[in-house]
Amino acid sequence: MLAYILRRLFYAVPILLGVNLITFALFFVVNTPDDMARMQLGVKRVTPEAIAKWKAERGYDKPLLWNEAAAGGGRFTETVFFAKSVRMFAFDFGRADDGRDIAAEIRQRMGPSLAVALPVFLLGLWVTISFALMLVFFRATYLDLAGTVLCVAMMSISGLFYIIGGQWLISKIWHLAPISGYGQGLDTARFLVLPVIVSVIGGIGSGTRWYRTLFLEEAGRDYVRTARAKGLTETAVLFGHVLRNALIPILTGVVVLIPSLFMGSLLVESFFGIPGLGSYTIEAINAQDFAVVRAMVFIGAGLYILGLLLTDLSYTLVDPRVRLS
Amino acid sequence: MDIKPVLLWSDLLLFLLLAACVAAAWACRRSPPQRAAWGRVARSATGMASAVTLALFLLVGVLDSLHYRTLLPAAGERERPVYGIEVYSVLDGLLLSLKENTEKTYSAPLATRLFAKESLEGGREFPRLKHGGAHLADEAGWAADVGRRALFGLGAGAALWALLAAVLAPALKRREMAWRSVLTVLLLTSLAGGTVVMLGQGYHVLGTDKVGQDVLYLTLKSVRTGLLIGTLTTLVTLPLAIFLGVLAGYAGGWVDDAIQYLYTTLNSIPGVLLIAAAILMMQVLIDTHPDAFSTAAERADARLLALCLILGMTSWTGLARLLRAETLKLRELEYVQAARAFGIAPLAVMVRHIVPNLGHIVLIALVMDFSGLVLAEAVLSYVGIGVDPSTISFGTMINAARMELAREPMVWWTLVGAFLFMFLLVLAANLLADAVREAFDPRTAP
């Protein structure tokens, strides 16, 4: 098991290297640091001195990939590529273009992101799975049909409208929760109610449909028919057999999401003013802060790979037939 | 009126795509299993209703993709004709009154007065609109006028539908098709359309936005952006996914490893961030090379295409993985083995024996992706990494409407307009995707 995990982690290195190269190419090959400086300082009336100063302050004044002027290993390390990309492997994200320490910012913002993402994740899972089980229980009736139609309709509504509608209905009309913001300590819960409810409702449509298909496929198997034939109640069949055996496909979809919880949701966080990683990313995008976007791409990719590994490991826990080699 | 046609890159690609669809349909007619599968779509009531709805949206999008510039009125002693800098579309031409009848700022749907009070001679009051209800001498006649127009519109819509039904009926009856749902959708559209057209002559049916633009006009213009993002992206996705997916599955060995590495790497970058990075770069490129784009329309168009390109780059990986798995299965089948034993070149085997048998997977994946892309466009544009802010799209509309909900009393019509059109478009796409999947998926098909 340990050897397997180590090997998988080893495989992750070339992928992260590839991610790094892609982002590096996107940021520095398409546009030179000069272009970036001009963009940040305003396109017109920029003196060469101002550009040079901007680059020197942020460490973009070195060559991109190969430093002829330096000696020995410095030829490789004293470059933009090394300073801005390779150092990320040591979780050294450097400073944002506005001067703040990115790593400190990330540590500080992880908490609020998790505070929203975790309840959304658990509650969402519970709601969609129970709703899907209910539809399967009443399959081929008008209730099932109505539920499926409702799901398709809910899937067709953009997430933006769920957020706007939730803020309008719950905060503005019913005055049940503050429209946006984030508090300290226990006070936080008050601010979390609305984003959590809105995110869970927004995910019901596609989630329920996905689980319903899963359960229906499982419910059509022979062992389920056998279980019914020997006189088990429909509830016992659904919960004891179908749900348990559908766990593997559920896990595939679910475990891979766990690491991405840290990333938070871009939309929900920026709409509700939650100081998490999602809103951090949006702010960086709007401020065109390349250093932050680059760091977030790297972290996101790392978490994704971690998620895949967790998925494979979780199989062994659920299904004794799966052996990792 | 003298006009000079303008062909934007996105227009050209859209028409190429439509031509390819027609060609593919022509090819499908000759293949009995394809005909049978499409026949199942045609017999499905929801499938046909959504197909007709999508076709109507497509009509709006195509009309909005025929661009031209108008001749400026001759002034002084110019020798050569000079064309205006503004690029119009045929849709703009049809809706010219909506486009140009702008008010000063917000006005509610069908209102005759502005939404905000202004200082007039008789104290602070809601001023009358320049265009909305301007034909009314006395505002007391508003209800009667609106009612009369709506009734007349309903009547005209019903008459139009009757005409359409009479023309279509024999053709629809001959073939096996869910023509009742087709006619129902057409009836609803013509009733709604007739009413809107009649009311639109004298009022702003969906009100006006902050700068006084007609919201109905904005929503209709958004349709093209959504459709383009949803369809042009496939132009990038499809060749990449088919070529790399089939190659990985068929060739195996290091080619397979390399392609798998490529799509795992691309897949592990969070889509939104990759898109953000690419769009930021595109923006720097556009800003530092202003001379490459002569009109604002071209600049916005370049950004739209860049968005399609980068969305395509992020979304081919899933399809490629599916195709690779299917190719692994197909290459072991006897007829492929036979072809290989006859010494047919690998490329020929792939093109002739493998790719045609992947058709249903590709089709299902494409139709299912469409609605997701339309939704993604709105979110990305809202976040500021989607289309150019000057491009009218659902995302930019919602973004502009965001603050309006906080006003007292609330300005709700921009959001409702965008919601209504977007919901219909995505719902139709989702329902059609379901119908197509049911008809083409070998597991569900009879």
**DSSP string across A31-64:** S-HHHHHHHHH-SSS--HHHHHHHHHHHT--S-S
Strand partners, B208: B107, B214
pLDDT tens digits along A226-244: 988 998 888 888 888 888 8
Cross-chain residue pair B270–A304, CB shorter than 8 Å: yes
Which among A30, A288, A305 is the nearest to B285, CB-wise?
Answer: A30
Average pLDDT, chain B: 85
pLDDT tens digits along B86-100: 788 888 888 888 888
pLDDT recorded at residue B385: 82
Torsion sign over Cα B308, B314, B315, B321? positive
Could you count the other beta carbons within 10 Å of the beta carbon of residue A310? Answer: 16
Cα-Cα-Cα-Cα dihedral of B310, A286, A159, A194, to 10°? 150
Size of interface A-B (CB pairs under 8 A): 129
pLDDT recorded at residue A40: 67
pLDDT recorded at residue A221: 87
How far is Cα A231 from Cα A237, in angstroms, rounded to an integer? Answer: 10
How far is Cα B393 from Cα B224, in angstroms, rounded to an integer? Answer: 8
Buried-exposed string A215-252: b where 16+ CB fall within 10 A, e elsewhere: bbebbeeeebeebeeeeeeeeebbeebbbebbbbbbbe
Could you count the other beta carbons within 10 Å of the beta carbon of residue A173? Answer: 8
Give burial (CB, 10 Å; 0-12/13-18/19+) of B106. buried
User: What are the helix (H) ranges across B269-386?
Assistant: 271-288, 296-330, 334-341, 346-349, 359-383
**Tokens for B130?**
């320049």
**Tokens for A19?**
């991610």
- In B, which residues are within 8 Å of A148 by CB distance? none
| E strand or H helix that includes residue B68 | strand B67-70
- Range 5-64 of A in CB contact (< 8 A) with B: 14-15, 18-19, 22-23, 26-27, 30-31, 35-36, 38-39, 43
pLDDT tens digits along A179-220: 777 877 777 888 888 999 999 999 899 899 999 988 988 888
Interval B208-218 mean pLDDT: 87
A217 part of contact set with chain B, CB < 8 Å: no
pLDDT tens digits along A2-51: 888 888 888 888 888 888 888 777 777 666 777 667 666 765 667 777 77
B384 part of contact set with chain A, CB < 8 Å: yes
Which among B273, B287, B431 is the nearest to A281, CB-wise?
Answer: B273
What residues contact residue B174 under an 8 Å CB cut-off, 6+ apart?
Answer: none
How far is Cα B391 from Cα B417, in angstroms, rounded to an integer? Answer: 17
pLDDT tens digits along B119-162: 777 677 787 777 877 777 777 788 888 888 899 999 999 999 99
Distance of CA B200 to the CA centre of its chain: 23
How far is Cα B425 from Cα B128, in angstroms, rounded to an integer? Answer: 35
**Tokens for A26?**
């996107």
Span of A258-267, B41-50, B298-307, B347-356 with lowest mean pLDDT:
A258-267
B444 part of contact set with chain A, CB < 8 Å: no
Cross-chain residue pair A263–B270, CB shorter than 8 Å: yes
**A78 — pLDDT class (breaks 50, 70, 90):** low
The predicted complex's ipTM stands at 0.85
Span of A55-64, B129-138, B264-273, B334-343 with lowest mean pLDDT:
A55-64
What residues contact residue A279 under an 8 Å CB cut-off, 6+ apart?
Answer: A109, A264, A266, A269, A270, A273
pLDDT recorded at residue A75: 65
Nearest CA to B384 out of A298, A287, A269 is that of A287
Which among A155, A167, A305 is the nearest to B430, CB-wise?
Answer: A155
How far is Cα B271 from Cα A60, in angstroms, rounded to an integer? Answer: 26
How far is Cα B3 from Cα B92, in angstroms, rounded to an integer? Answer: 14
**B432 — pLDDT class (breaks 50, 70, 90):** very high
Query: Higher pLDDT residue, A292 or A50?
Result: A292
What is the pTM for the complete model shown?
A: 0.89
> Contact at 8 Å (CB) between B394 and B423?
no
Mutation choice for A interface testing from B219, B257, B259, B281 by most A CBs within 10 A: B281
Buried-exposed string B50-71: b where 16+ CB fall within 10 A, e elsewhere: bbbbbebbbebbbbbbbbbbee
Ordered DSSP codes for B103-150: -SS-B-TT-SB-SS-EEETTEEE-PBPSSTTTT-SSGGGHHHHHHHHH
- In A, which residues are within 8 Å of B265 by CB distance? 15, 18-19, 22
Using the predicted structure, report yes or no on whether residue B27 has a pLDDT greater than 70.
yes
Cross-chain residue pair A31–B281, CB shorter than 8 Å: yes
Q: Which amino acid is at A213?
A: T
Cross-chain residue pair B287–A305, CB shorter than 8 Å: no
pLDDT tens digits along A86-141: 777 777 777 777 778 888 888 888 888 888 899 999 999 999 999 999 999 888 89
Q: What percent of chain A has pLDDT over 90?
A: 15
> Contact at 8 Å (CB) between B281 and A36?
no
Closest-CA distance, B389 to chain A, in angstroms, reads 13
Which among A19, A159, A293 is the nearest to B268, CB-wise?
Answer: A19
**Tokens for A312?**
């494979």
Cross-chain residue pair B405–A43, CB shorter than 8 Å: no
pLDDT recorded at residue B444: 64
Cross-chain residue pair B405–A168, CB shorter than 8 Å: yes
pLDDT recorded at residue A111: 87
Nearest CA to B230 out of B125, B330, B304, B285 is that of B304
**Tokens for A64?**
């991109």
